[in-house]
Amino acid sequence: MSDALVWFKRDLRLHDHAALDAACRYAAGGSVRCLYVAEPALWTLPDASAAQWGFVRESLLELAAALRARGVELTVWHGDVTSALAACWHARPFSALFAHEETGNAFTYARDLAVAQWCAEHRVTWTERPQNGVVRRLRNRDGWHRHWQRFMSQPCLDEPPFDPRTQPAPAAGVSVEALADLIHPLGPDPSGRQRGGRTAGLQLLASFLMARCARYRGGISSPLSATHACSRLSPYLAWGCLSVREVVQATEARLAELALRADGDTQRQQAGLKAFLSRLHWHCHFIQKLESEPEIEWRNMHPGYDELRTEVDTPRFDALVAGRTGWPLVDACVAMLRETGWLNFRMRAMLVSVATYPLWLPWRPVGLWLARQFVDYEPGIHWSQMQMQAGTTGINATRVYNPVKQARDQDPHGDFVRHWLPALRRVPDSWLFEPWRMPPDVQQRCGVRVGPDPEADLPLPLVDLEEALRDARARVHAVRARPEVQAATAEIVTRHGSRVNRDGQGPNGPRRAGTRGPTRAKADPSQMLLSF
């Protein structure tokens, strides 16, 4: 018999847990201990927040209860990981450490190197198992989609059986409840955020598959409908309460059920679920970018754009963070983020576009601020999308969102901005999208003051929008047109470009003969972009 230790990270579940399954097979009747390390150094990083920690802590409480019901105690350690491993080792030596592969930030990468060193010094075998379609040490993207399909088609792993008689007492640590007083990330924990834990994730998955998916196509772009039309599963996937594979397979099973029916609502549900499956494919596609090139967390994917946005305009950045840009939809989105920790993908993309084009802010500090706001912060997706929306990848089309046009398209009656910006409830419809144009007498009649001073009900826009957009586009396109910049793009495509055409497959299945791209039902092209 052998002793094994399972280290939980962004995988707070028991179902379809490859590391836990492998540890139980390895121990073969020996002890399997479970460890979670609450790392103060991790939770005080500039991309961590109280919103994320609140979600994780709730998920840990449920995980610990699930393990306890199976006769296993979760060891919770407050400190660095190598100290936690040492404590577990001194309590009872173990011969193998099991964990999932993690595509995290620079901190987790350095921490994993330290763990590898500790294991080598103590002659402990460290085995990491993949938990999604991301591939370690990938040379290029050729064949990546086939790998993703193979991984997602493998059966989900059942919860492994535990024999309580073989489980030792946990190493000295702290209770999950005590962590509330020990971990202090940046910022407040918003009252309107989603609650953590696998149970809440499964309930959301069921409601989406059975009914809400009918509104997915056509409903995920507007902030009005997106709260119900989107799956809302992103935080449960980001923190591992659900596995990507079980969500993919549950979606495919639901599609098979719907194929036996034929009515209007069924067709809408099928279309929504097919579009959702495409998103799940792109989920791993973007994480793979950070896995293959960790430097994109802080460095332009294409070095040709290094001369753009080199300095932070502090007043503009502060106004953006405070929700005082003067563009109602932008400021309403910031208010929603502050209160809920969530925003639909189009509005996230618009925030990045406004920050990096008309406000001309570097994507890195904007990305750190947004990372703290998002409960569903997934480093691989986040930093890949930050660069794509900021136009620094060299391989994506320039995406510039006009916040006034977006307001007219996505919130035509002003319901969203009036909800999140109470001062706009007094503004007449005719001035709602551009309140700074209101004549003084109209402002007086509706009791709203628009101006540059901090006491004004509504601020003036930070810049002239049309002029700033023209200037930003010109500066980006001038760099893109340079021969040396174009020449360097090929290498980026090799590392990060999609290969669905080369694989002969698209995210929704095989291509039909004679088609040049992935087969998809017609949809709003913007909905083919992945949420952050």
Each residue of 74-92: pLDDT tens digit?
A: 999 999 999 999 999 999 9
pTM, two decimals, is 0.92
pLDDT value of position 527: 34
Give residue 189's region: left, alpha or beta (phi > 0; psi -120 to 50).
beta
Burial of 175 (0-12, 13-18, 19+ CB in 10 A): exposed
Q: What is the mean pLDDT of residues 150-166?
A: 86
The DSSP element (H or E) to which 510 belongs, if any, is: strand 509-510
pLDDT value of position 172: 72
Closest CA to 245 of 103, 150, 379: 150
Each residue of 351-370: pLDDT tens digit?
A: 999 999 999 999 999 999 99
174 DSSP assignment: B
The DSSP element (H or E) to which 125 belongs, if any, is: strand 125-129
pLDDT value of position 28: 81
Q: What is the mean pLDDT of residues 218-235?
A: 97
Residue 151: CB partners within 8 Å, gap ≥ 6?
A: 130, 132, 133, 245
Each residue of 180-224: pLDDT tens digit?
A: 889 999 889 999 999 999 999 999 999 999 999 999 999 999 999
Each residue of 379-410: pLDDT tens digit?
A: 999 999 999 999 999 887 888 999 999 999 99
Q: What is the mean pLDDT of residues 60-76?
A: 93
Closest CA to 197 of 60, 355, 29, 101: 60
> pLDDT class for 312, splitting at 50, 70, 90?
very high
Q: What is the mean pLDDT of residues 492-519?
A: 49
Locate CATH 3.40.50.620 in the chain.
4-131
**Chain position carrying tokens 């923190």:** 239
Q: What's the rounded Cα separation, in Å, for the pair 253 and 247?
A: 10
Identify the CATH assignment for 303-481 out of 3.90.1720.10, 1.10.760.10, 3.30.70.2190, 1.10.579.10: 1.10.579.10
Each residue of 241-299: pLDDT tens digit?
A: 999 999 999 999 999 999 998 777 899 999 999 999 999 999 999 999 999 999 999 99
pLDDT value of position 170: 67
Which CATH code is given to the segment(s) 198-292?
Answer: 1.25.40.80
Angle, CA 502 vertex, CA 500 and CA 506 arms, to 5°: 25
What's the fold here for domain 4-131? Rossmann fold (3.40.50)
Backbone angles phi, psi at 48, to 5 degrees: -105, 155
Report yes or no: 241 and 198 within 8 Å, Cβ to Cβ.
Answer: yes
Q: What DSSP assignment string belongs to 35-97?
A: EEEE-HHHHTSTT--HHHHHHHHHHHHHHHHHHHHTT-PEEEEES-HHHHHHHHHHHS--SEE
Locate CATH 1.10.579.10 in the chain.
303-481
Locate CATH 1.25.40.80 in the chain.
198-292
Closest CA to 355 of 305, 384, 394, 320: 320
Angle, CA 502 vertex, CA 499 and CA 503 arms, to 5°: 85
